[in-house]
Structure 1
Amino acid sequence: MKQFFCVAAILVSLVSVARATEVNVCKSGLPLPYAVTVKDCDKGPCSFPRDSLVVWNITFDAPHDLDTFEPKVLATALGLDIDYPLNESEGCKELVDDECPLEEGQRVIYATTMEIKKSFPTINVGIEMTLYTPDEDGNSVGFTCFQIDCKVTE
């Protein structure tokens, strides 16, 4: 019976990875998350319709014991880098079927949304999402990052 559950867990993991969105490594060189899934997008450039919510699922392994983590999004358009606020800045509040604190190596799914406002122009945008955690001195340190190209559409 135990073997059945192990095989089932492996199959579920493989299916979720097979459906993951292709993303790029960030300029920072931080490691990619285990998997990233952007709803309705297999690979960039992803189309983000104006007046919608983009749904992101980021699967990652905790690099060490984590009490908290914070996502930050950098949007690059027309040569400008802009910090893009998410609906929730505390990552632990958006974990799927888990909660903080996390143990080192624990694999979790972080699910968040990003609002694409009706007023946004229809342009190409580079999105870079980094997950940060405080170090022992209270400084924010990135532990995983991905980049994907997108287009804001009608």
Structure 2
Amino acid sequence: MMKEVMFPVVLALCVAYISATEVNVCKSGLPLPVSVGVLNCDKGPCELPKGTEVFMNLTFDAPNDLEIFEPKIIAHALGIDVDYPLAEPNGCNQLVDDECPLEEGQRVLYATSMEVLSFYPNINFGIELTLYTYNEDGDKFPFTCFQIDGKVVG
């Protein structure tokens, strides 16, 4: 219960201190967000200490009128791809100073975090974050993506 109460407060404080991070285009060729920020990381590989939470935000323009959008993170490590589950699968619930529905072209700030669990091995990996929405026919499609390298430390 305490985590659900504290998360928005901590996230809001972190958003204020996250500066722009250099990221890469995904293999899919999707457009990059307007900007991306990972706390304490100007460019990859980002060092992610075990037992911490990594805060990130991205600014994007809504590709169409959308009721909902969904983030998906894939971690690439040791030759395998693993879906990284986010605590909140509905991106609308983590918009900063905005809410869904969004209008086409509306610029918004989305903030999220990832836990780096203490038992994770010290490895290098890639992270790919893609945002998805739905078209008028109800088909899910990606609209922005970025990739960055990371390194678990500690």
Q: TM-score range by the shorter chain?
A: 0.7 to 0.9
Instruction: Note the 1:131-142 alignment, pairs <5 A.
Output: 131-142=131-142
Percent identity, aligned pairs only, is 65
Length-normalised TM-score, structure 2: 0.87
- Code of the residue aligned with 2:53 in structure 1: it is L
Structure 1, unaligned stretches of length 5 or more?
A: 1-15
Partner of residue 60, structure 1: 60
Give the Cα separation in 2 of the matches to 1:66 and 1:47. 34
Deviations for 1:28-67, whole angstroms, at most 9, x for unmatched residues? 0000000000000000000011111110111000011111
- Code of the residue aligned with 2:51 in structure 1: it is D
User: What's the CA shift for 1:87?
Assistant: 1.4
- Code of the residue aligned with 1:136 in structure 2: it is E
Give the Cα separation in 1 of the matches to 2:137 and 2:49. 41
Give the Cα separation in 2 of the matches to 1:140 and 1:150. 28
- Code of the residue aligned with 2:45 in structure 1: it is P
User: What's the CA shift for 1:139?
Assistant: 2.3
Length-normalised TM-score, structure 1: 0.87
User: What's the CA shift for 1:86?
Assistant: 1.0
Partner of residue 116, structure 2: 116
Instruction: Note the 1:1-150 alignment, pairs <5 A.
Output: 19-150=19-150
* Root mean square deviation, CA, Å: 1.1
Partner of residue 6, structure 1: none
Partner SS, residue 138 of structure 2: coil
Structure 2, unaligned stretches of length 5 or more?
A: 1-15
- Code of the residue aligned with 1:61 in structure 2: it is D
Could you list the structure 1 runs, at least 4 aligned residues long, displaced by more than 4 angstroms after superposition: none
User: What's the CA shift for 1:138?
Assistant: 2.2
Give the Cα separation in 2 of the matches to 1:138 and 1:118. 39
Number of aligned positions between the proteins? 137
